[in-house]
Amino acid sequence: MSTTMDKVFVEGIYAGWLAKIIGIRLGAPVEGWSSQQIKDVYGRQKGYLVDYRDFAADDDSNGPIFLLRALEDSGRWGELTAQDVADALLNYAPYEHGFFWWGGYGVSTEHTAYLNLWNGIPAPQSGSIEQNGAVIAQQIGGQIFIDTWGLVSPGNPDLAASLARRAASVTHDGEGVYGGIFVAVCISYAFVEHDICRILEKGLSYLPEDCEYARVVRTVMAFHAKHPKSWEGCYRYIHNNYGYDKYPGVCHIIPNIAVMILALLYGEGDFSDTLHICNWCGWDTDCNVGNVAAILGVRNGLDGIDYNTWRRPVNDFLACSGVLGSLNCMDIPYGALYIARAAAKLAGQELPEPFAGLAENGMDSCHFEYPGSTHAMRIRREEGRCQECRMENTSESADTGERSLKVSVGAVSPGEKIFVYRKTYYRPRDFHDSRYDPSFSPVVYPGQTVHGSVMVPEYSEGLTACLYVRELRTGKLYLGEALTLEKGVWQSLEYQIPPLEGAVIDEMGVCFWSGGAGTAVLLLDNLSASGTASYSIEFARENEEVWNPLHTEISQFTRLRGLAYLEGGRLHLSCADSGEVYTGRHDWRDYQTEFWLTPVAGASHRVLIRVQGAMRCYAAGFEKDGRLCLYKKEKTYRRLAECEFCWNMGEEYRILLSAQEGRITVSVNGSRLLAFEDRENPYLEGAAGIAVEDGSHCCCRRIIVLETGK
C-alpha cells in the first residue's frame, strides 16, 4: 500500500462534503412537505428553491462534522467506541438548543438519547430499543448524521461499516443503525465504484438479509428493474406501500430510504437529476437529498457538480451550531481537510502535498487548493457596490500549491478601493433564517497577525495592495502597509492587528486599488491569521442578538446552558443547576484571561480557560465556605488545587487565569494564589468562558485576553 493517500481521494472527500451541504440547502425549504405540496408551490423547479443570503445551520451538517471529532478527541481512531462518539455529542452539542431538533424526550430520537447520556446512561444503551423502544430508535437520524464516517473511509467499506455501526448506535438501534451502516458504506464504496447498483449492493452486503431496511431497498431496486422509465410510478408505489402512514414516529427511516433509492436509480448517475427527483418526492427532503448528494458527489467528483447551479450560491460557506462559536463559521474546505486528515490517519498514510502541509499548519487558511473552492470569500467596491466584480478559483498561478483565487473588477476608477475578504463574525441579520439556532465567536482577533500572498498578472492594470481588517461596531478599517505590486511576481503581505478594547473584527482580507482606469485583476493565496489575541470585551458595548423570539444570544458568546443576559453594562449568568458561556477561538494555546467578576447569588462562580467544549476545560472560582478552587473538567469538574479566600457577595474581583503549556495559574486582584502543573493529558488549547453551578448567579463587567506573560 502506498504511504501517501491518492489525491483523487482527497478531492473526493471535498466533493462529497460539498455535495452534502448542497443537498441540505436544496431540501431545507420543503422539509416535511408532501410531494403534492412541493408540486403545487414550486412545480418542477430546477436549482435551489430559495435564494438564501447565507444559509443558517442545519442538523444534517452539525452531526456529521462534530461527531467525527470523536476520532481525534478520544485518540483511539480505528478502535473508536460508541461511548467515544457519545462523548463528542455531549461535548459539542449545546444543552437542548441548536445542533439538532430538540423535540422532547420520547419524541425526538436525538433529544432522547442526549438526555440519556447526560444523565449517565452509557452508549450504546443510550440509543437502544431496550432503553427507548422500537419507534424512537428507528427514526431517520441513524443515517442523516453518518456521511462523514463514509468520507473518512475512502474505498474501505469495512472500516466505514464498523465506524458507522458504533456512531449510529449512540442515538439509534435496529433499522436506524442499519441505515447508518448502509449510507456510510455506499459513500465509502463510491470512491472506487461507479456503477450505482453495485454501490447499493455493497451497502446491502453489510446488512442482515431479512431486515426491513434491506427488504425495502431491494423492493425499490426490483421495481426500477421492471419499470425503468417513470420515477413518478415508483414514487406512487412507495407512497402506497411504504409511506409515513405505515411506519410510526415523527420521521421513520424506512419511507425515506425508499425515496433515496428511487432517486439514485432513476437519476441514472446525473447529480442534478438525482437531487431534483429526491427533493420532489418530499418527506424529509434535506436529509434525503443530503445523503444521496454525498454519495453522488463522491462518485461523480467535482466535475459532476454544475458550478453555477450548485456551487456558486453556496460559495463554500457553512454555518454550524455547536457549542464552540469559532467552529460555527467554518468553511467547507476546512471541513473537507479535517476529514481528509482523519482519513489519512486511519489508513496509516500521509496526505499528498500541499494538503499535508496545510493540515499541519494551515487548516483554517484560505488556500484555494480544492478545484473551484472559494473559502466563502466575498468582494465589494469601496462604496459597497459589486458591479463588474468576479471571483473564481484558478490554476493560472499560485504562491504555493497549484491554485489561487482570481479577482477581476471592471471599469475601476483611479484610486477606487476594492475589498476581497472573509467574514470573520456573523450576526442574525446576515442570515435568511435561524435554522437550528447558530451563534458565533469571531475567528480573528485584535493582536493577531494577518498573512496573505498576492500577485497582479501582466494583463491587469497596475495595482497597490494591503491587508486589512474591519471593526464591526464602528466600521473602521485597519489597513496594513501598502505595497505597489510588481506584475507577474507573487509578493507576501503581513499585518499585525493592533490591540483593541471592546472591538469585534468581522472582516479580514485584501484591499487593492489602481492608479489608472480599466480592468483590475488580482490573484490571492494563503490568507490566514495567526498568533495570540490581545483585546478586551467590554460588556457595556456588547448586545443581545435576537435570532427569533425564542433564541437570543450574547454577542461573541455561545451558551451551553443557563440564563445569560445583559444588564447594567454587565453579562449576567444564572442557573437552576449549572450554566456556562464561552467565547474566543477553540485553538488558542498559551494565553491569559482576566475577568472582572461579581458574585450575585449562590456559592459557585467560575471562570474558564482552554475550553474544548462542554465536557473539557480548566476553571477557577469561588466556592462555598470561603474557598478559591482550581478545577479540570472531564465531563464533571475535578478539583486540582484550592486555598482559603474570603470572598463577598456583590464585590467585584479580578480573576486572572493563565495557561502556559501544562501549567495553569490563578491570581485574584493581582495576587497569585494557585498553580498546578497538569501532567495527565493536559488540555493545551481552547477558548475562554464563565460558569455557575448549584443555582448560582454572577455577573462580569470586563474580560481581557493577552498572550501569556504580557
String of DSSP letters for 286-329: HHHHHHHHHHHHHHH-GGGS-IIIIIHHHTTB-----SSGGGTT
The DSSP bridge partners found for residue 527 are 366
708: confidence class by pLDDT, cuts 50, 70, 90? confident
pTM score: 0.97
Residue 376 has pLDDT above 90, yes or no: yes
pLDDT of residue 32: 94
Q: What are phi and psi of 20, to 5 degrees?
A: -55, -45
- Report how far residue 232's alpha carbon sits from residue 613's, in angstroms, rounded to the nearest whole number: 46
pLDDT of residue 190: 98
Burial level of 455, CB count in 10 A (0-12/13-18/19+)? buried
CA atoms within 13 A on the CB side of 494: 6
Delimit the CATH 2.60.120.560 region(s) of the chain.
Answer: 536-707
Other C-beta atoms closer than 10 Å to the C-beta of 457 total 16
Of the candidates 473, 483, 482, 419, the residue with the CA atom closest to the CA atom of residue 446: 473
97: confidence class by pLDDT, cuts 50, 70, 90? very high
1: confidence class by pLDDT, cuts 50, 70, 90? low
Residue range 237-255: mean pLDDT, rounded: 96
Inter-CA distances, 42 with 49, 272, 288, Å:
8, 16, 18
**Strand pairing report for 605-613 and 551-554:** unpaired
pLDDT of residue 515: 81
DSSP 8-state secondary structure symbol assigned to residue 29:
G
CA atoms within 13 A on the CB side of 304: 25
- Report how far residue 539's alpha carbon sits from residue 439's, in angstroms, rounded to the nearest whole number: 17
CATH superfamily of the 536-707 domain: Exo-inulinase; domain 1 (2.60.120.560)
Angle, in degrees to the nearest 10, between helices 196-204 and 285-300? 120
Residue 571, helix vs strand vs coil: strand
Label residue 460 left, alpha or beta by phi (over 0 means left) and psi (-120 to 50 means alpha). Answer: beta
**Strand pairing report for 544-548 and 551-554:** antiparallel
Q: Which architecture, in CATH terms, is 378-531?
A: Sandwich (2.60)
Other C-beta atoms closer than 10 Å to the C-beta of 382 total 14
Delimit the CATH 2.60.120.260 region(s) of the chain.
Answer: 378-531
Of the candidates 328, 408, 337, 410, the residue with the CA atom closest to the CA atom of residue 368: 337
The DSSP bridge partners found for residue 637 are 633
90: confidence class by pLDDT, cuts 50, 70, 90? very high
- Report how far residue 657's alpha carbon sits from residue 609's, in angstroms, rounded to the nearest whole number: 7
Inter-CA distances, 534 with 91, 498, 584, 710, Å:
27, 8, 11, 9
- Report how far residue 157's alpha carbon sits from residue 669's, in angstroms, rounded to the nearest whole number: 58
**573-613 confidence digits (pLDDT tens):** 999 999 999 999 999 999 999 999 999 999 999 999 999 99
Q: Write out the three cell numbers for 469.
A: 481588517
Are 426 and 413 in contact, with CB atoms under 8 Å apart? no
- Report how far residue 538's alpha carbon sits from residue 438's, in angstroms, rounded to the nearest whole number: 23
Are 341 and 351 in contact, with CB atoms under 8 Å apart? yes
**14-52 confidence digits (pLDDT tens):** 999 999 999 999 999 999 999 999 999 999 888 999 998
pLDDT over 90 percentage in the chain:
92
Residue range 449-458: mean pLDDT, rounded: 97
Inter-CA distances, 500 with 497, 505, 667, 706, 709, Å:
8, 10, 23, 11, 18
